Structure 1
Amino acid sequence: MARVRTSGGRQARSVNRNTHKIARVKKECNKRRKSIKKFNDAQNGWRQNELNSVSEVAEVSQTLDAQPSPLPTLSWCSSDDVWMKMLSKEIKYKHSKSSLHRHPSLRPKMRAMLLDWLLEVCEAHTLHRQTFYLAQDLFDRYMLSQSNVQKDRLQLIGITALFISSKIEEIYPPKITELAYVSDGACLEEEILQMELIMLKALNWDLCPETVVSWLKLYIQIASLYDVTNIIVPQFSQETYIQITQLLDLCILDINSLDFKYGVLAASALCHFMSADVVQKASGLKREAIETCVNWMAPFVETMTRYDSAQLKEFGQVPLEDRHNIQTHVNYLCMLKEAQEKQSESLEPFFPPTPPSSTEKTS
């Protein structure tokens, strides 16, 4: 027997359909409002980033005027773009010795002892110089972003910085168990992993600066260049390179080294081994730009002459052509103490003061 459909049933079903339809429309409207808000937020963020980029480009342009590119013309890329990228990193990744002022319980000697220990760890695990200098940069920039860090946290922060940098730079980075072991039980694996997340967030995942040693490799390569077609292949003396890096290793332990840009530090170190004209050609930096740093570095050079010259070392399973890139360690803390004592004495500057012009003399 056929069912008889009443008008009341049809009306009820119609109301239900309309209710569901209204609910779907409201849901769709809410989704659209959220999408519009998300788009606006993203657009505002993009505009802010654009403004930051514009200000950075202006600063890079000013730096470019003071430090023109020393790079030769390259067939496989734009040398101007490479140079602009390097200068922009020098501006973006800021470091300062004022970070110590944010931590009243810390002293410059504590930083020196930590970095000296990291140098020793790098040599023990056959890590590259770039790995150490990246760890040093991560450590100093992290400390600049924090306040009131206690001295019992320094070793954890330092070994975590090395843990991060080794994963970036090394093909076979040391395992976290090995890094926890070298801390002699002071840093547990779980603590290193937790500190890694804290540091990455504090650094905003900005992990690719131009370090002191990357600037040095560029400068000494340009200064020694004889084959432009193979510019990537090292064309400098390994013996000279490790002597300059030993000077930089010693200088970087002094917190006053953070007064200078990494590119200036590298050029100043090179200036103690090559003529000022060669350094200017290789770095694009004029004498006035590096004079203060060169004179500051002079006591460190004088101290180094009292010790045996740095020698190339052989490392197992490391090719001879790569051994200069492996980080080494000597008794830097003793050398640092002597150099700092010499700085307090009245020493003749490496660069004598520039004589006044004839007009200044008459006036």
Structure 2
Amino acid sequence: MELLCCEVDPMRRALPDPNLLYDDRVLHNLLTIEERYLPQCSYFKCVQKDIQPFMRRMVATWMLEVCEEQKCEEEVFPLAMNYLDRFLAVVPTRKCHLQLLGAVCMFLASKLKETIPLTAEKLCIYTDNSIKPQELLEWELVVLGKLKWNLAAVTPHDFIEHILRKLPLPKDKLLLIRKHAQTFIALCATDFNFAMYPPSMIATGSVGAAICGLQLDDGDSLTDLLAKITNTDVDCLKACQEQIEAVLVNSLRQVRQQQQQSNPSKTVDELDQASTPTDVRDINL
């Protein structure tokens, strides 16, 4: 007799564990250990000589596009950028190796967060085969060694559910906030100015920016509540939120300029309706 299982489960993720989500000790522990996983320094000033900030942005944009095209979990890209920043903070790296490093970081992050991780062969294809699978595997050991195999880094995504569950808003609004906050987190990960920010600050600022963009806060009550949830200074939170909103505006401007250059016949309204890999238009403030 032949046994055949035809069940196909489109969701390969475990459901949220209420024992973890509703225990405030988990949030407290995240806040306690989050700074352990920040880069040790602003490495463009004291470590890197060959790599410039604009190069990091370019490889980050490429990594984000790869993650989105492969439909990776939302946590993969920010986690990969955490690995990249921590490595660059301790190892002087040639610019010709930056894309290789980015591929290795995605390789590691997908192994940690994906049920079916990215393969070395597929990542090499995304580099136009400028790197070989064996080279990627060799660098994987190098990166693991420099990170001391400490891969379970705290990222802004770890705080999102803990923050949302404490907000006095309807479930449908929370779903929108989550989606927009995830996009803000991805934008922050592409910008080096946020690399030294605690993940809780980025998460809280992203949720605050989403709430502001959706016009769900008539006053400062939700901002005060957000600051209290993650023990964040209100003024620091507002400054972070404003910076995140500025990154969004700048990103939208760059997308419009690029699309207008490639499609000069399109009107502004047509460009506004175009889609982008990061879905930033969905949260246009």
Cα contact 1:250–1:300 (8 A) shared by 2: yes
Unaligned runs of 5+ residues in structure 1 are 1-73, 227-233, 309-327, 336-363
CA deviation map 1:302-322 (0-9, x unaligned)? 4467789xxxxxxxxxxxxxx
Kept after mapping to 2: 8 A contact 1:160/1:195: yes
Which of 207, 212, 215 matches 1:270? Answer: 207
2:60 is the alignment partner of 1:123? no
Distance 1:301 1:174, change over 3 A: closer
Q: Deviations over 1:33-90 (max 9, x none)?
A: xxxxxxxxxxxxxxxxxxxxxxxxxxxxxxxxxxxxxxxxx76799353234212321
Identity of aligned residues (%): 23
CA shift for structure 1 position 277: 2.5
The 5-angstrom pairing of residues 1-363 of structure 1 reads: 79-95=23-39, 98-101=42-45, 102-147=47-92, 149-223=93-167, 237-274=174-211, 275-303=222-250, 329-330=277-278
Distance 2:151 2:25 in 1: 20
**Aligned 8 A contact 2:181 2:210 in 1:** yes
Per-residue CA deviations over 1:184-204 (Å, capped at 9, x if unaligned) read: 111110111100000111000
Amino acid paired to 2:25: D
CA distance 1:97–1:77, change in 2 (3 Å): closer
Structure 2 stretches lacking a partner, 5+ long: 1-17, 212-221, 257-275
Q: Is the 8 Å Cα contact of residues 224 and 236 (structure 1) preserved in structure 2?
A: no
Give TM-score scaled by structure 1 length: 0.57
Deviation at 1:141, TM superposition (A): 0.6
Q: Per-residue deviation at 1:286? A: 3.2
Equivalence for 1:229: none
Cα offset, 1:295, TM superposition: 3.3
Report the residue type matching 2:154 in the other structure: E
User: Contact 1:123 / 1:329 at 8 angstroms: preserved in 2?
Assistant: yes
CA 1:96–1:269: 2 relative to 1, 3 Å: farther
| Equivalent position amino acid for 2:231 in 1 | G
Aligned residue pairs total: 233
Q: 1 CA distance for matches of 2:22 and 2:178?
A: 27
- Matched residue of 2:34: which SS? helix
For the 8 Å contact 2:178–2:207, the answer to whether it is kept is no
Question: CA separation in 1, counterparts of 2:162 and 2:19?
Answer: 18
Cα deviation, residue 160, structure 1: 0.4
Q: Which amino acid in structure 2 is aligned with residue 284 of structure 1? A: N
Residue identity in the other structure for 2:139:
M
> What one-letter code is carried by the residue in structure 2 that aligns with 1:178?
K
Return the offset for 1:271: 1.7
How big is the alpha-carbon RMSD for the aligned residues of Structure 1 and Structure 2? Answer: 2.9
Shift of 1:180: 1.3
Q: CA distance change for structure 1 residues 154 and 304 in 2, over 3 Å: closer, same or farther?
A: closer
Larger radius of gyration: 1
Relative to structure 1, the CA distance from residue 77 to residue 237 in structure 2 (aligned partners, 3 Å threshold; closer, same or farther) is closer
Contact 1:221 1:236 survives alignment (8 Å): no
Q: Is the 8 A contact 1:247 1:304 kept in 2?
A: no
> Residues 209, 236 of structure 1: CA spacing in aligned structure 2 closer, same or farther, 3 A cutoff?
farther
Q: Contact (CA 8 Å) 2:27, 2:159: kept in 1 or not?
A: no
Report if aligned partners of 1:96, 1:258 keep a CA contact under 8 Å in 2: no
Deviation for aligned residue 1:175: 1.8
8 Å CA contact 1:176–1:189 kept in 2: the answer is yes
- Structure 1 CA distance, aligned partners of 2:167 and 2:194? 24
Aligned pair in 2 of structure 1 residues 116, 76: CA closer, same or farther (>3 Å)?
Answer: closer
Deviation at 1:283, TM superposition (A): 2.8
Q: Distance in 1 between matches of 2:248 and 2:99?
A: 29
For the Cα contact (< 8 Å) 1:97–1:255, is it kept in 2?
Answer: no
